[in-house]
Amino acid sequence: MTDRPLTLMAVHAHPDDEATGTGGVLARYAAEGIRTVLVTCTDGGCGDGPGGVKPGEPGHDPAAVASMRRRELEASCDVLGISDLEMLDYADSGMIGWPSNEAPGSFWQTPVEKGAARLAELMRHYRPDVVVTYDENGFYGHPDHIQAHRITMAALEMTELTPKVYWTTMPRSTMQRFGETMREFHEDMPEPDPAEAAALAEIGLPDDEITTWVDTTAFSGQKFDALAAHASQGENIFFLKMGRERFGELMGMETFLRVQDATGAAVPEKDLFAGLR
């Protein structure tokens, strides 16, 4: 044992991603005295501009959007009690198939080894005991999420560190509940076509394959407020439309797949730091 604090590092793609899948664990572990480090890989410049203006539409200024989203990210970090925020500041690549995927300097176009080298420096500095990022498909196929996964796993190989490593995921049973809730709030929402339905059915994992279930119900209010801090993207954040009570019911459990471990902690586990304290 050393005198340094236990440390959680979450590697996310965009401002607001920190709140969606890991807001609960970030708030919970910060409250428990654990150092929480957030690495945000892109500037979020492909997000909505003022008034909901979309990328490519008149009035959308990626630099201004990035500046606004940086302020919102800092506010979210304050809500969640995040100890340290690190921005890699790569240009947001946008959704799959957008022209911005091909833009020079975008995160998607950045060589993995280059991004990984920068992240490895941060890992050596903070020496995280737990690292959280996305799976190889970025959970739902977003280019920047996939790239965040790639640089995280490559960075770990570049260091001598052996943290517990987790990928965010969602139980298929919960995904089904989300689908039902979305239809409840959007009665006119059309049924997905068969190909889209099949793709959605592959998101997340069967419940019995999930290794780690962390109860963050007591911190769901902070998670809601952290999402709300990203006000400029409110049109895209479905979870805020549920209201605080319903949000807490659906979002109180955060789940992960453990992919690296040197502690021997048994799974399924209820704590990312099982075996470390």
Residue whose C-alpha is closest to residue 169's, from 76, 269, 253: 253
Per-residue model confidence as pLDDT tens for the chain (277 residues): 457 899 999 999 999 999 998 999 999 999 999 999 999 999 999 999 988 899 989 999 999 999 999 999 999 999 999 999 999 999 999 888 989 999 999 999 999 999 999 999 999 999 999 999 999 998 888 999 999 999 999 999 999 999 999 999 988 887 777 666 666 666 565 666 666 656 666 778 999 999 999 999 999 999 999 999 999 998 777 778 888 888 888 889 999 999 999 999 999 999 999 999 9
Taking alpha carbons only, the member of 223, 215, 213, 230 closest to residue 244 is 223
Distance CA 9, CA 120 (A): 12
How high is the pLDDT of residue 127?
Answer: 97
Please report the DSSP string for the chain in residue order. --SSPPEEEEEESSTTHHHHHHHHHHHHHHHTT-EEEEEEEE--TTS--GGGPPTTSTT--HHHHHHHHHHHHHHHHHHHT-SEEEEEEEBP--STT-GGGG-TTBTTTS-HHHHHHHHHHHHHHH--SEEEE--TTTTT--HHHHHHHHHHHHHHHHSS---EEEEEE-BHHHHHHHHHHHHHH-TTPPPPPHHHHHHHHTSSB-GGG--EEEE-GGGHHHHHHHHHT-GGGGGG-GGGGG-HHHHHHHHSEEEEEEEE-SS---SSBS-TTTTT-
Residue where the block lists tokens 């201004």: 64
- pLDDT for the residue 1: 47
Pairing of strands 35-42, 212-215: unpaired
Quick one: tokens of 204? 């997340």
Q: What pLDDT does 200 receive?
A: 62
Cα 259 to chain centroid, rounded:
17
110: left (phi > 0), else alpha (psi -120 to 50), else beta?
A: beta
Q: How far, in Å, are 69, 131, 160 from residue 21 at the CA level?
A: 18, 14, 27
